[in-house]
Amino acid sequence: MKVAATRALLTTLGVPALAAGAAWLLQRAWSSRLPEPIAIHWGPSGPDRTASLGGFTAATLGSSAALATAGAVLALVILRHGNGVLRGVLAFYAWLAAFPAALLIAVLTSNLDAPGWQQAGFNGGSVAALAASALAALLGAVVAGPSVPPARQTEELAPGDLSVGLGADQRATWVGSASSRVALVVFVLLLLALAVLPALTGAALPVAVYLIMLIPLAAVLVSTRLRVVVTGAGVQIRFGAFGIWRRRVPLADIAGATVERVTTWGHSGLGIRVNPITGDIYYKVRGGEALALRLHSGRTIAITVDRPEQAAGLVNDLLRQDSPQRS
């Protein structure tokens, strides 16, 4: 816990502090080569907004400090509650808090050696901002280290957990699936739009339109169906119209199974959804009851499959067979 908290603080506070320090040093070194005021915004015809050098520096570095503090507090709260935190989340916090400092570097670079703010150009500044932001994200990922999993759950299966009555020497396999009516309706509507639009406009649509429409069509198609197979080896998930995405969860990784109710648009909607804070994963083609696998790592995998209570019961019975002392 102490090592994880230290890494979290170094990522969320240390990395943005380095970016802010670099921006402040550049401001001090270049102050005599910068116009006053400086250009801070560019429109189609060039610079169109200004600010004083000191005021803009204070605003951007103050924003970095506030974002870094908020990210550090949030990361520590998450760790204290035993939820764990993903490496990518800490790197994102570092990037977000460092971005105002990167913006300051971009503005300083753009105004450097300009006779006045009207002559400042943003081309070099955009490159500087991208480079500083990318460096902050990369450094954040390195400093954060491996993702911290949630506190390991060790609770045993309770007598009241779901069961299908599988005997000690019996074997069984469960196969289930679910489809998304919403996705199917959207898919049909998109196809109809492609067919009707040329008739309404009186001209064939550009090829680029068809290519662009292929993206939502493909996304909807692969989100229409999922299939789940429960065996003594574990749980296999096949997501998409053709089972494109596959995942196998070994029985040894599962602490227990239950039924969880999810909403259609909760957890960011349909598809494969990952909670970046807890690491929980949702395979969703609809709202309603879902098979929820509680992993030993403390995370949960929820799958919106039909008749999830049967799947959960078989998983629990297989776990009892695997560990007789649980029953």
Q: 123: helix, coil or strand?
A: helix
**Beta-carbon count within 10 A of 263 CB:** 11
Pairwise CA distance, residues 142 & 139, whole Å: 5
Picking from 93-107, 169-183, 279-293, which range would have the lowest pLDDT averaged per residue? 169-183
pLDDT tens string 240-263: 777 778 999 999 999 999 999 998
The per-residue pLDDT for 313 is 95
Nearest residue to 293 via CA among 250, 238, 233, 239: 250
With a cut of 80, say whether residue 323 has pLDDT above it.
no
Longest dimension (CA), the chain: 86
Per residue in 133-166, pLDDT (tens digit) is 889 989 998 998 887 766 655 455 555 578 998 8
Q: Helix, strand or coil for residue 239?
A: strand
What are 97-135's pLDDT values in tens digits?
999 999 999 999 999 999 999 989 877 777 777 788 889
* DSSP 8-state code for residue 249: E
Closest to 179 in 3D by CA, of 270, 249, 312, 261: 270
pLDDT grade for 326, boundaries at 50, 70 and 90 = very low
Read off the tokens for 295: 């992993």
14 DSSP assignment: I
What's the mean pLDDT in 77-92? Answer: 79
Cα 202 to Cα 183: distance, rounded to the nearest angstrom: 29
3-state secondary structure of 55: helix
Cβ within 8 Å of residue 28, ≥6 positions away: none
Query: Who has greater pLDDT, 64 or 86?
Result: 64
With contact defined as beta carbons under 8 Å apart, do 174 and 230 qualify? yes
DSSP 162: -
Position 258 scores a pLDDT of 94
Sorting pLDDT into bands at 50, 70 and 90, what band is 167? Answer: confident
pLDDT score, position 154: 46
Output DSSP code: residue 159: T
In the 8-state DSSP scheme, what is residue 13? Answer: I
Q: Above 50 in pLDDT, residue 235?
A: yes
CA neighbor of 71 nearest in space, from 135, 22, 132, 140: 140
Contact 258, 274 (CB under 8 A): no
Strands 300-303 and 281-284: parallel
Whose CA is closest to 91, among 122, 137, 32? 137
DSSP-assigned beta bridge partners for residue 285: none
